Amino acid sequence: MKHEMLGGKIHAARVTQVNLDYEGSCAVDLDLLDAAGILPYERVHVYNVTTGARLDTYAIPARRGSGTIGLNGAAARLATKGDKVIIVSFVLADDDELASHRPVVVVVDDKNRVSKTQRHTLRRKS
């Protein structure tokens, strides 16, 4: 059986730009993508902590070290500059992969720089 598990998470990032006149997607500083193990053009979910809005899109790489978190196209209607968001990716894991699966959570500071990285281990009831 396959399980859909958290792969990577960027927690408490601030939206730095919105651009309605762009074809779509979520621009993310390459340093943050790398830290969270999210690949450019990978499907991501964006949860707007400020408004409660949720959206499904894909990550596009923004300039490394820029701190950019940008929502583009239709997604730009679901956030404003300064909103706090969570960006997550999910992976599929077989039963035998669960014991070694370790999702990564990247917590960022007010400038969208990595302040803490945590790797989690699945703990199953005995």
Q: Mind listing the pLDDT tens digit for each residue in 43-68?
A: 999 999 999 999 999 999 999 999 99
The CATH number assigned to the domain holding 95 equals: 2.40.40.20
Contact (Cβ atoms closer than 8 angstroms) between residue 27 and residue 68: yes
pLDDT at 99: 86
Q: Residue 27 domain-assigned?
A: yes
pLDDT digits (tens, 9 = 90+) for 90-112: 999 999 988 889 999 999 999 99
> Has 115 been annotated as catalytic?
no
Catalytic residue, from 22, 47, 58, 66: name it: 58
Total structural domains within the chain: 1
Strands, sheet with 54-62, edge to edge from the N-terminal-most edge strand:
17-19, 69-72, 25-29, 54-62, 43-48, 84-94, 2-14, 104-108, 114-119
Reference 49, options 11, 9, 85; nearest CA is 85
- Residues forming beta bridges with residue 43, ordered by sequence position: 58
| 120 found inside a domain | no
* The one catalytic residue among 25, 41, 66, 89: 25
Indicate whether 126 pLDDT > 60.
no
Catalytic annotation on 47?
no
58 against 120, higher pLDDT: 58
- DSSP-based three-state secondary structure for 35: helix
Structural domain harbouring 38: 2-111
Measured between alpha carbons, how far is 114 from 35 in angstroms, rounded to an integer? 8
Mean pLDDT across the chain, nearest whole number?
94
Helices (H), the chain: 30-36
Q: How confident is the model at residue 124 (pLDDT cuts 50, 70, 90)?
A: low
pLDDT category, 120, cuts 50, 70, 90? confident
pTM score, two decimals? 0.93
In this structure, are residues 69 and 28 in contact, taking their beta carbons and an 8 Å threshold? Answer: yes
